[in-house]
């Protein structure tokens, strides 16, 4: 499984990051360190095996400014893909649960 993220406009703190997990296995945490640009973050990958269930967690860094400077939810895009050992895209089924 692989994932990358892009923090979209409006540009504001905090920094968005993401991580894949499967059981006790966890991918490296990736960050989109340039807010509001058109580029996705580096890809994070995790190998979980056939018919594995993964969890994708998207988080935002702690914000230390005033509330008036950071109202509302963060807006971001994500690219999620499942590949076999040869790097060929396979199908995937997914369910989204979101908390702000």
Q: pTM value?
A: 0.79
In a domain, 63, yes or no: yes
In a domain, 12, yes or no: yes
CA distance 58 to 13: 15
CA distance 68 to 100: 17
In a domain, 96, yes or no: no
- Average pLDDT over the chain, rounded to whole? 82
Domain of residue 17 covers: 2-90
pLDDT of residue 7: 87
32: how many CB neighbours lie within 10 A of its CB?
A: 23
CA distance 11 to 4: 18
In a domain, 99, yes or no: no
In a domain, 85, yes or no: yes
> What average pLDDT does range 17-36 have in this prediction?
90
- Span 30-66, pLDDT tens digits: 998 887 788 899 999 999 877 788 899 998 876 666 6
In a domain, 48, yes or no: yes
pLDDT of residue 14: 75
User: What total number of domains does the chain contain?
Assistant: 1
Give the 3-state DSSP-derived string for the chain, with helices as H, strands as E and coil as C. Answer: CEEEEEECCCCCCCCEEEEEEECCEECCCEEECCCCCCCCCCCEECCCCCCCCCEEEEEECCCCCCHHHCCCCCCEEEEEEEECCCCCEECCCCCCCCCC
pLDDT at 13 over 80: no
In a domain, 51, yes or no: yes
In a domain, 97, yes or no: no
């Amino acid at each position: 499984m692989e994932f990358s993220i892009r923090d979209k406009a409006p540009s504001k703190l905090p920094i968005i990051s993401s991580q894949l997990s499967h059981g006790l296995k966890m991918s490296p945490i990736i960050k989109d360190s340039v807010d509001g640009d058109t580029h996705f973050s580096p890809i994070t990958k995790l190998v979980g095996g056939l018919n594995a269930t993964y969890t994708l967690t998207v988080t935002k860094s702690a914000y230390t400014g005033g509330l008036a400077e950071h109202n509302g939810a963060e807006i971001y895009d994500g690219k999620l893909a499942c590949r076999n050992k040869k790097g060929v895209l396979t199908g995937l089924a997914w369910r989204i649960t979101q908390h702000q």
